[in-house]
Structure 1
Amino acid sequence: MSPIITGLLLVVAVSVFAITMSGRAGVLLAMKKENRLDHIPFRALQLLRFGLGQKRMVDPEEFTPGLMHVFIFAAFMVLALRTVMLFAMGFSETAFAVLTDLTDPFWTGKEPLLAVYRVYLLVKDVAATLAVLGVVYFAFLRAKVRPDRMTPSWEAYLILGFIGGLMVTEFLFGGSHMVAQHARDSAAGGFMWWEPTTSMFGLGMRALGETGAHYLGLAGFWIHLTIILTFLNFLPKGKHFHIITGLPNVFFQRTNPNGKLGTPNLEKEEFGTATVKDLTWKQGLDLYSCTECGRCQTHCPTYITGKPLTHKGVNQDLKHWLWDHEQWVEEGYSPGGHGVKEPLPEIVGSALKAETVWACTSCGWCETACPVFIENIPRLIDMRRYQVQVKAEFPPEIQRVFEGIERQGNPWGIGQDRRDEWAEDLALPTWGDGGGPYEYLFFVGCAGSYDDKQKKVSRALVKILREAGVSFATLSKQEMCNGETARRMGNEYLYQTMAKMNVESWNGLGVKAVITQCPHCFNTIKNEYPEFGGEYRVINHTQLINDLLKEKRIKLSAVMNSKLTYHDPCYLGRHNGVYDAPREVLKAIPGLEVVEMQRSKREGFCCGAGGGRMWMEEHIGTRINHNRINEASLTLKHAEDPSTPFPDAADKQKPGQVGDYKEKGGTGVVAVACPFCSTMLRDAVNDTGREEHIKVKDITELVADALVETKSGGPATVTPGPTVSAKPE
């Protein structure tokens, strides 16, 4: 071919690419250090499953576009070797002859090698063909279907053109050699099984004659190389940067549980994220890796209800700020007037608005849906930490929450001396009172102790535990808030104070296992307390009840004939993977007809209370809990009358429209397993005027109502039965 032209193209393209990448890499190097080289075997396995294997791309809600993306990804992986071959052909006539003509003398006596090469050509041809199918599909999807999650973009069409161009020029280049072979030998150059699509192009190109086919193939060759090098330099400038950074981002994903936040060292004045320099290099890599696919929006409660937050938007805003100010970030300051160096501007106020940072409910959908494992929640919580602990700028209504936890050990600020009023007539044993030993500490939680509705759940759980003969005790008035609310509101100092105090107390009492009735308590004690020395076996009440039913330590009778739908708590389901236990418990209650909402299990829709939002007002858009109760109402109505229109919750053009249902709807029960969800959904029932149609009940209440009592219900110090343990789901 032409070594000079090939070399010139390479030198220019690689030089420009190196200059661009030096700026991108310089930003990452200027960010905070973070160790992401632990647990190498786990990371390697995740890379194989989710990076090279593209497992998340074919999740059920986006299976077809995910499959098409897999086709394109596979083509890039397979054609990477072909690209090397094409550049070798550009530099060497010998390589050109050997790689394009399988009758070349080089292949004589090398039948095994020739067979391997033919198999590669077959795989290459099939992969390229499927990639063209993927390009056509995505062009149609963007031009005609126009999914809500996909932002209209000329860049997307350009990239699709690049990808399609690479595949077509490969076919044209190969087809021209088949025409030449046919001209030399009419018995050759026909259909070849190892290059089926290329053969079809070759057969079509015969009409151009040998000369015409030669020049078309030559044009295909140079266009192919030019597209590759242009594509290479376009990647670091747009959303397709993920082609370079996506696989590393999957490898460097966090290895701790999804619901666990990092613990900053407050003694070293790690008070949160103020500027982009406070982001870690991994958080910077997250920004580079955002594909802007919009999967994070499909079931995002803030996006669906019109709040000023989409995680795709946050990633875009921060990424472009970084790219526009690379030199500032690398040098650690911004140029002020008269040559004076000034600190970098704070993220909140320059790249992001305050209401964006405070809108997140930390439900975890964005991280569950993201195919490249971007960690959105920890980054936003770090920004809240700075706003609270340094700037003292936060929604005013949460001031009383902080004061309540500080002064009375609970976010309501109700007197600590009233913490055990809910159980005054139950004669519950107190851990450390000289009784026992006890198998479980029943951590009642703030809601279970102070919220009138949740007190009933606490009493119902005691009834079940006693009937099953479970040995347990509470901390009575000594119980304190676990601090979860404070942490997710950004008050890390207050959280760590509560966590250290609780761990020291519990360890001193010899606590080994903890029962919780709140998923937020469950997640915090299970996943976050170990960092403070709190290593406990933690079981959620739905898991415990399910185990008791399976072990036949409690029996249920038919007490109701009702339709019921279950709402997944985010911190029980998505963050901790507990989906089956609550449903198995509900199905064990005779007389209940359980119907699923469309947005359930891993796709469950948030009630709006997580991330500290339980204590904040919603001033923008529609209320998240209204959207959810609308869906529950529609679900119950559809179960009564299947002719009731039931729109697709994941509709590509209008996601979440099941939450737009405004009628009174069907009659039945919405089962919950979280005090926050209970409060939010009960409020939504009242706000939407459905009090006569829908009742919100915790699973524990339903079980207690159906319980066949065979014991006298004496004190909880009865001899325990077999050890009950949480089973992974």
Structure 2
Amino acid sequence: MHIVLQIGSEITRPTFWLIGPVGKAVFYYLAAVAILVFLAGASERVKRYTKGDADHADRLDDLPSRVVESARTVLSNRTLFDRDFVGGVMHLLVMWGFLTLLIATIILGIDMDLYRPLTGESFFIGDFYLSYSFVADAMGLLFIVGLGIMLYRRYAARNERLWGHHTSLEDDLLVWTLFLLGVGGYLTEAVRIIGQDFPPFETASFVGWAVALIIAAVGVTPELARTLYPITWWAHALLALAFIAAIPMGKPFHMLSSFANVVTRDGDAGKRLPGIPADLDATNAETIDDFSWKELLDQDACTKCGRCSSVCPAKASDRPLDPRNVILDLKTYREERDAGGEDLPIIADGGAAVIDAATMESCMACMACMDSCPVEIEHLSSFTKMNRQLVDQGDVDSNVQNVFQNVMQQGNTFGDQARARADWTAELEFEVDDARETEVEFLWYVGDYPSYDDRNKQVARSLARLFELAGVEYGILYEDEVYDGNDVRRIGEEFLFLEQAGTLVDTFEACEFEKIVCTDPHSFNTFKNEYPEVDFAEFADDPMMAFEIEESWDGAPVYHWTQVVEELVDDGRLGLQGDELAYTVTYHDPCHLGRYNDEYEAPRELVRATGCKLVEMPRNRNDSFCCGGGGGGLWTDFDDEPKPSEERLREALEDTSAGDAIEKFVVACPMCMTMYEDGRKTGGYEDEIQIVDVAELLIEAVEIRDGRQA
């Protein structure tokens, strides 16, 4: 039988070969049904988002720029290469292979359904057809290679983070459906090539040609191929149409929701938490409808990749928190309730609830989950909403409740007298200026731990001596300094945060200064990113709010002390030569300084300025592992195994390139100092490593310099 292989005299292939007009009509009908089912399902998803609360951020401002930047992120797979190069390559191959095959299908449809009917001709011929065939085959092959890696990681290597509480049949169906679509396309192409007696120009479809040679070698004749072709064609077509229809119904929807999530991201999420309305009747996370539309979108965008779980210090310490599970638990409950399931409390301390209180109490607010998420899920927004609900319900850990009481009664987390706040200065050989009475360049916010904790008082005195030696004009607030509120806000006590913020801003407004410098990265973050966003006027009439400011604070330049001292060193105001110390040290990036505010280099430059040999931790900069103190972790008791601080010290001594030659573990955060001093004792590292602050290294270097000069 002679097979027509050309339209006119041009090289091409017949599109509905051996399918016939009835089969073609059936295909178009099924395609229309699949598209309508897809559109209906996607529409229902979007309608569900509209039932969520309004979001605090303007997520659609400058939309064209957002779309362009998000397209760059998604198409480059940039976020997927972070911490997992193989995973990035795998997803890049699958995504670009899928997109290319989708574009190829669209091009074919344009030729068949638009260009031919309008012009009576086809562009699907000659060199265009050969180029089309080659590119489609090449990208389809990469698509299958990517899926092969995916299958290997999931089933052979059993990558731990791909398996968990929410791993289900839909995960298997997605990866196997895509794989069968890729393989089925080549099989259909190969059967057609055999049935058409191996047209020479079809070598452009080099993968299909190779498959055709293989199956011909095992006995598939042209006659058999022509019998099999309609079967393979329909199997491939029906699978493809079923996949299109199913996209909004499960995991494949992440192809759309993930992009939407990246487009609507808030670049300041986490480091700047959303506020709450002054209306005391407003609820936080009483029902699933209290979550904003963006938080609902977060839930749908989750691909179950487990990157957030793999970097979570709480999960690594066997606490009950798994960030992925929290997001997916909320999604599962939402879908079940929308389908007529029972109403449950979103969060509670024990009993039937979607999320248990201990899960949220485990969170250290380190933002590692958000930093690692390739689709920009903002975990901390949802987590904080649930923490606020716990506070509203009174389901708060007793230790944390004591901290709340201390702050309310004494203005600090220790519960010590306010008048003792500056007692740490008594051992200094000079007097620290009172910023309430003297105009200064830098208002130094010392913070709770450097003011009341004995170990951190040593750091505060070291920093004061550095300021004094460099001739910095600075002052402190003495007993008028109160707790900044950063961590109680992340635990969920928003009203206490507002009271502390308003009280401090009142004090700031009464002082004459140019800049604020902070000892603690937590204070640095909240002054820089959160205080200017608070609408104090909304709460001005609340008798519980003991502040006078009745408008938003216009802020002031805010610095972490390492940023200020780095400039002093660069200007030569401390006279360091860079050879004073000879320790081998490693440095730990504090979450609130690094991940929150992208300050990684100032502390490192200061360590190097002392002459120390700085050896990097394997997990450094934005990959840094939390000390365990953030988000109230400093005030809660968990049977961690191991403690985050113990694991980090082990990493310093065993996993750095210097190994146990590391002499000092350098920090730049009072909370980190506290947690690592504790971890050094409980982990049995007291004789192996010393915990020091960058300021203490600098003072030691300055003293050696002075000794040389003497």
TM-score (norm 2): 0.86
The sequence identity of aligned pairs, in percent, is 29
What is residue 363 of structure 1 aligned with on the other side? Answer: 366
What is residue 29 of structure 2 aligned with on the other side? Answer: 8
CA-to-aligned-CA distance 1:95-134 (integer Å, 9 cap, x gap): 8xx9xxxxx9735xx99xx655654443322221111111
Distance 1:602 1:45 in 2: 25
Structure 1 residue corresponding to 2:180, chosen from 165, 171, 174: 165
Structure 2 residue corresponding to 1:486, chosen from 469, 472, 488: 488
Q: Which amino acid aligns with 1:77?
A: L
CA-to-aligned-CA distance 1:423-454 (integer Å, 9 cap, x gap): 13431111231x33x22111111111111111
**CA displacement at 1:224 relative to structure 2:** 2.5
Does 2:664 align with 1:639?
A: no
Answer whether contact 2:311 2:372 (CA < 8 A) is retained.
no
Answer whether contact 1:36 1:254 (CA < 8 A) is retained.
yes
CA-to-aligned-CA distance 1:172-194 (integer Å, 9 cap, x gap): 344455446656xx6x33522xx
What is residue 465 of structure 1 aligned with on the other side? Answer: 467
Q: Which amino acid aligns with 1:575?
A: Y
Q: Secondary structure at the match of 2:690?
A: strand
Superposed counterparts of 1:60-209, under 5 Å = 61-84=83-106, 106-107=122-123, 118-151=130-163, 153-179=168-194, 188-192=200-204, 195-204=205-214, 208-209=220-221
Answer whether contact 1:511 1:536 (CA < 8 A) is retained.
no
Does 2:621 align with 1:626?
A: no
Structure 1 residue corresponding to 2:600, chosen from 560, 568, 579: 579
Structure 2 residue corresponding to 1:444, chosen from 438, 443, 446: 446
Distance change >3 Å, CA 478–CA 259, structure 1 → 2: same
**CA displacement at 1:69 relative to structure 2:** 0.7
Answer whether contact 2:319 2:362 (CA < 8 A) is retained.
yes
Distance 1:470 1:585 in 2: 17
Distance change >3 Å, CA 93–CA 672, structure 1 → 2: closer
Does 2:671 align with 1:676?
A: yes
Q: Which amino acid aligns with 2:464?
A: V
Q: Secondary structure at the match of 2:261?
A: helix
What is residue 605 of structure 1 aligned with on the other side? Answer: 625
Most deviating of 64-73 and 114-123:
114-123
Distance change >3 Å, CA 121–CA 529, structure 1 → 2: farther
Distance 2:561 2:601 in 1: 13
**CA displacement at 1:513 relative to structure 2:** 1.2
What is residue 700 of structure 2 aligned with on the other side? Answer: 705
What is residue 542 of structure 2 aligned with on the other side? Answer: none
Most deviating of 236-245 and 204-213:
204-213
Does 2:338 align with 1:326?
A: yes
**CA displacement at 1:373 relative to structure 2:** 0.4
Superposed counterparts of 1:223-262, under 5 Å = 223-256=235-268, 258-262=270-274
Q: Which amino acid aligns with 1:5?
A: V
Answer whether contact 1:556 1:708 (CA < 8 A) is retained.
no
**CA displacement at 1:279 relative to structure 2:** 0.4
Distance 2:460 2:229 in 1: 76
Q: Which amino acid aligns with 1:361?
A: M
Distance 2:191 2:105 in 1: 18
Distance 1:90 1:121 in 2: 16
Q: Secondary structure at the match of 2:510?
A: helix
Q: Secondary structure at the match of 1:413?
A: coil
Distance change >3 Å, CA 190–CA 291, structure 1 → 2: closer
Distance 1:523 1:116 in 2: 57
**CA displacement at 1:238 relative to structure 2:** 3.4
Distance 2:160 2:344 in 1: 35
Distance 2:645 2:681 in 1: 11
What is residue 432 of structure 1 aligned with on the other side? Answer: 436
**CA displacement at 1:505 relative to structure 2:** 2.5
Distance change >3 Å, CA 518–CA 526, structure 1 → 2: same
Distance change >3 Å, CA 270–CA 546, structure 1 → 2: farther
Distance 1:413 1:180 in 2: 85
Answer whether contact 1:361 1:611 (CA < 8 A) is retained.
yes
Does 2:376 align with 1:373?
A: yes
Answer whether contact 2:664 2:690 (CA < 8 A) is retained.
yes
**CA displacement at 1:15 relative to structure 2:** 4.8
Distance change >3 Å, CA 503–CA 219, structure 1 → 2: farther
What is residue 681 of structure 2 aligned with on the other side? Answer: 686
- Would you say how many aligned residue pairs link Structure 1 and Structure 2? 654
Distance 2:655 2:575 in 1: 29
Q: Secondary structure at the match of 2:311?
A: coil
Structure 1 residue corresponding to 2:529, chosen from 498, 516, 527: 527
Q: Secondary structure at the match of 2:54?
A: coil
Answer whether contact 1:467 1:710 (CA < 8 A) is retained.
no
Distance 2:188 2:116 in 1: 17
Distance change >3 Å, CA 503–CA 709, structure 1 → 2: farther
CA-to-aligned-CA distance 1:330-380 (integer Å, 9 cap, x gap): xxxx77xxxxxxx76434442111111111101111111111000101211
Distance 2:43 2:133 in 1: 36
Answer whether contact 2:130 2:201 (CA < 8 A) is retained.
no
What is residue 297 of structure 1 aligned with on the other side? Answer: 309
Structure 1 residue corresponding to 2:73, chosen from 50, 54, 65: 50
Q: Which amino acid aligns with 1:201?
A: V
What is residue 650 of structure 1 aligned with on the other side? Answer: none
**CA displacement at 1:561 relative to structure 2:** 3.3
Distance 1:507 1:710 in 2: 40
What is residue 554 of structure 1 aligned with on the other side? Answer: 574
Q: Which amino acid aligns with 2:346?
A: E
Distance 2:274 2:283 in 1: 12
Does 2:583 align with 1:541?
A: no
Distance change >3 Å, CA 73–CA 667, structure 1 → 2: closer
Distance change >3 Å, CA 561–CA 674, structure 1 → 2: same
Distance 1:106 1:239 in 2: 37
Distance 2:665 2:65 in 1: 39
Q: Which amino acid aligns with 1:563?
A: T
CA-to-aligned-CA distance 1:621-676 (integer Å, 9 cap, x gap): 4322222222223247x625xxxxxxxxxxxxxxxxxxxxxxxx656111000000
Answer whether contact 1:482 1:524 (CA < 8 A) is retained.
yes
**CA displacement at 1:512 relative to structure 2:** 3.5
Distance 2:571 2:196 in 1: 75
Q: Secondary structure at the match of 2:631?
A: coil
Answer whether contact 2:652 2:662 (CA < 8 A) is retained.
no
**CA displacement at 1:249 relative to structure 2:** 0.8
Does 2:98 align with 1:38?
A: no
**CA displacement at 1:217 relative to structure 2:** 4.2
Structure 1 residue corresponding to 2:585, chosen from 557, 564, 576: 564
**CA displacement at 1:42 relative to structure 2:** 4.6
Answer whether contact 1:669 1:697 (CA < 8 A) is retained.
yes
What is residue 646 of structure 1 aligned with on the other side? Answer: none
Distance change >3 Å, CA 55–CA 566, structure 1 → 2: same
**CA displacement at 1:382 relative to structure 2:** 1.0
Answer whether contact 1:401 1:412 (CA < 8 A) is retained.
yes
Most deviating of 423-432 and 229-238:
229-238
Most deviating of 205-214 and 159-168:
205-214
CA-to-aligned-CA distance 1:236-273 (integer Å, 9 cap, x gap): 34333312211111111113254111111223644522
Answer whether contact 1:512 1:536 (CA < 8 A) is retained.
yes
For structure 2, the 5+ residue unaligned runs are: 1-15, 17-22, 535-552
Answer whether contact 1:460 1:704 (CA < 8 A) is retained.
yes
Distance 1:71 1:89 in 2: 27
Q: Secondary structure at the match of 1:696?
A: strand
User: Which protein, 1 or 2, shows the higher relative CO under an 8 Å CA cutoff with sep ≥ 6?
Assistant: 1
**CA displacement at 1:580 relative to structure 2:** 1.6
Answer whether contact 1:503 1:534 (CA < 8 A) is retained.
no
Answer whether contact 2:528 2:557 (CA < 8 A) is retained.
yes
**CA displacement at 1:701 relative to structure 2:** 0.7
Q: Secondary structure at the match of 1:611?
A: helix
Distance change >3 Å, CA 711–CA 189, structure 1 → 2: closer
| CA RMSD, Structure 1 to Structure 2 (Å) | 2.9
